[in-house]
Amino acid sequence: MLQRRTIIAAAAGLLLAAAAPARAADTATANDTALFLAGMPPAADSPLAPLTKDRAWQQHAHTFDGAFGRLDQGQLARIRAWSSANLTTSRPTMFYMFSGPDFLYANAFYPNATTYVLAALEPVGTVPDLTTLRGSVASSLYQLHVSLSSILSYSFFITHRMKSDLRATRVNGALPILYVFLARSGKTIREVTMVHLDDAGAVQPDADGNARGNATRGVKIVFAGSDGEARTLYYFSTNIANDGVKSSGFLKFCESLAPADSLIKSASYLLHSGGFTTVRDFLLANSAVRVQDDSGIPLRYYDAKKWDLQPFGHYLGPIGVFPGRYQPQYAVLFRKSRPIDFGIGYRWHPHETNLLLAVKMPGEAGAEASARPASAEPGAETSATPAAEPERHSPARQRRGRTMFDWFRLRR
């Protein structure tokens, strides 16, 4: 009898031991959630694993496999090759203003960064435990396809569409898209923390969302790549126009990480206007290497004594939805440009794309003061369109761009 009781007790102990991990795994990890949203199988013991047998998820996975495969072959792999050949030095941190949740291109251009700082107006959002969504998983996955359609096709998010797309379901905001991009970039998420910045630019935890009303809110994601090295991605939902950025701790936070490398693309030519002079001057003063298209910092703000400017591709001027942003100096610079085999920005076709690599001269990184052109008063902008090179700025080119962007609007 004693032996039988001992056997029963031992068996019960084994059952309890086996049950404990199952209970611990009742809530999906951030990494498994990212894999699931990205159309990639989560861990076998994840509570999300049974949901991968659903036909809707399998179709989602098939669609994403094809879309991300084409994107990597046609653009991201070529960008990584270009980066490896041309970005011979790199800083630990990279800044990407006006980014939306675009980790894909931040990682493609700067794969060796250990800290990524992305900033845009789009809300951080949430990713709930997908096992609690009941019958709405399929609709949430569909909304991801809608939100990602433009960047997967054209390399950029369409801002006015993002405002509605990122609020459509319980899986909302920039965070689920960051999850998808991290997973599809081969990263493993280790830790996700909601944060906010105080007035001094220090990162504070914000798990309960109790930060004061005008605090800069964001998310901190610790992840690792194939090398196992821990890296950090910050995404901040913040207004970086002059009136917003001066009253927040965002640039103070960035300054603590400077000098850094930076990326600007598809930025709606906001840095051409007088409303974004603060962040423009900050990037000029605190970037060591910058990759941008012509929607970034206008050429006239670069001091030729401090910057080595290397043009790639073709400058055709802005598309029609952005009139008055043609840069004669850009056109002259790009007469002696080097070729690229990928598309980027609003002109995403490789034969139309322009890319500027700006490298700060030795001894200048982090030391440059405000770079406002001497001939211009604060906030003054020019929008002259030159008579030279009319074939690159012709009405036909403008009509093509306007039609393309109008088509985007019709797709809402």
Question: How far lies 125's CA from each of 174, 221, 400, in Å?
Answer: 6, 14, 35
**pLDDT value at residue 10:** 39
Cross-strand bridge partners of residue 195: 205, 218
**pLDDT value at residue 213:** 65
Helix extents (H) in 39-165: 55-71, 77-86, 103-109, 137-154, 159-165
Q: Regarding predicted confidence, which is higher, 338 or 67?
A: 338
Which among 328, 403, 404, 398 is positioned nearest to 156, based on CA atoms? Answer: 404
Residue indicated by tokens 């990928």:
342
Cα Dmax for the chain: 103
**pLDDT value at residue 172:** 80
Residue 22 has pLDDT above 50, yes or no: no
| Radius of gyration of the chain measured on its C-alpha atoms | 24
Helices 55-71 and 175-184, interaxial angle, to 10°?
A: 70
Counting beta carbons within 10 angstroms of the beta carbon of residue 4, is it exposed (0 to 12), middle (13 to 18) or buried (19 or more)? exposed
Alpha-carbon span 344 to 105, nearest angstrom: 10
- DSSP conformation class of 372: -
**Average pLDDT of the chain?**
81
Q: Where are the domains of the chain?
A: 27-410
Residue 188 has pLDDT above 90, yes or no: yes
Alpha-carbon span 323 to 9, nearest angstrom: 79
Tally of CB atoms within 10 A around 65: 14
What's the pLDDT tens digit per position in 346-392? 988 889 999 999 999 987 765 444 343 433 333 344 333 333 333 33
Residue 19 has pLDDT above 60, yes or no: no
Alpha-carbon span 145 to 176, nearest angstrom: 12
Residue 9 has pLDDT above 50, yes or no: no
Alpha-carbon span 109 to 312, nearest angstrom: 14
**pLDDT value at residue 365:** 61
What's the pLDDT tens digit per position in 285-326? 999 999 999 999 999 999 999 999 999 999 999 999 999 999
Q: How many alpha carbons lie under 13 Å from residue 66 in its C-beta half-sphere? A: 7
Average pLDDT over residues 176-194: 96
Which pTM was predicted? 0.81
285: left (phi over 0), alpha (psi -120 to 50) or beta: alpha
Average pLDDT over residues 125-144: 79
Confidence of residue 26 (pLDDT cuts 50, 70, 90): confident
Specify whether the CB–CB gap between 55 and 194 falls below 8 A.
no
Average pLDDT over residues 272-296: 97
Alpha-carbon span 165 to 147, nearest angstrom: 5
Average pLDDT over residues 142-148: 77
Helices (H) then strands (E): counts for the chain: 13, 10
Provide the percentage of residues in the chain whose pLDDT is more than 70.
75
- The H-or-E segment that residue 374 falls in is none
Tally of CB atoms within 10 A around 41: 15
**pLDDT value at residue 401:** 38
Cross-strand bridge partners of residue 408: none
Alpha-carbon span 162 to 177, nearest angstrom: 11
